[in-house]
Amino acid sequence: MVSLLRFGILATLVTSSGGVLADLKPVADDELSGVVAQAGLTVDYSGQTTLSQFKFENAGAYQVDGITMGGAGVTQAGFSEGYGVNFDDVRVTFDIDSDGVLDVVWQPGISDKIDWGFRADDVTLESSGAKKTALFTNLEAWGFLKEIRRRVNPPAADGSSQGVSTYSEFTIENLTAGASANTVGIEGGYVKGMEPAGFAVLDSTFRPLSAAQSGIGRDTVTLEVHNFAADIGMSNLSIGGVGLGAVTLDNVRVTDTAITLNH
């Protein structure tokens, strides 16, 4: 109620031209000291998003149909584990520090991790001639999110942007895709931390590069992967319905890698 009352008071003040300004008193230094660093915004979030079709179109197209994003319960495997269908228990904080740096942090509220889920009916590629290739069908994934920290960095001394840095800890507990004669099938896919019950780590920065910085003679963007660490695998991979067996990649590390768009 306090928030709405404050809004009401603010609206009243804004709309009262030449309002009463008598009896204003200066705030003492010791009173001001208690005010510093008390601002910032917290949002406790619960929700779900559906999308009947996502289509990225260049000359051809990449298309995903029947998307649901929410809690682990949007997948069959996650639902059977007892998870709900909403992406919830999420606490998002927004802070702007004294240097004008914006930090947006996603963390769990009550529990120690947030369950998430994603499912899609079909994933296809389409040529400019409208020929389609099915990649996946009944694609489902669920896992946990421990935190995402996004920082909009301050500009460099010359005023150029230093982009956005993202640090995240997460897992994919179970990734599946239906096996058929036309698609890639996946059973028991996972991306986890290197320690038991640990989280995979991705630390990266996405930033624009000027022509002078890029080395390709024009403006572009780059993704700098400072650190990616995870165990990756699946219990069975099949192509066209034919099983190829298990895949296991232990202790995968990617560091000091820059991917620069050049088109």
| 167 bridge partner residues | 149, 203
Q: Does 225 bind other proteins (CB under 8 A)?
A: no
Cα 52 from chain centroid (whole Å) = 20
Residue that has been written with the tokens 């994603």 in this structure: 118
Query: What gap in Å lies between CA 154 and CA 162, rounded to an integer?
Result: 7
Q: Of the two residues 162 and 235, which places its CB atom closer to other proteins in the complex?
A: 162
Q: Of the two residues 94 and 257, which places its CB atom closer to other proteins in the complex?
A: 94
Find the shortest distance in angstroms from Cβ 261 to other proteins. 6
| 119 bridge partner residues | 68, 140
Query: What gap in Å lies between CA 259 and CA 253, rounded to an integer?
Result: 16
Out of 19, 32, 128, 154, name the contact with other proteins by CB under 8 A: 154
Structure tokens at 186: 């996946």
Per-residue contact string for residues 17-46; x = within reach of other proteins by CB under 8 A: -------------------xxxxxxxxxxx
Out of 135, 164, 247, 252, name the contact with other proteins by CB under 8 A: 164
Q: Does 258 bind other proteins (CB under 8 A)?
A: no
How far is CA 253 from each of CA 117, 216, 230, rounded to the nearest angstrom? 25, 28, 7
Q: Does 251 bind other proteins (CB under 8 A)?
A: no
Binding site for other proteins (CB under 8 A): 1-5, 7-8, 11-12, 14-15, 36-58, 93-102, 109-110, 152-155, 159, 161-164, 206-209, 214, 218-221, 261, 263
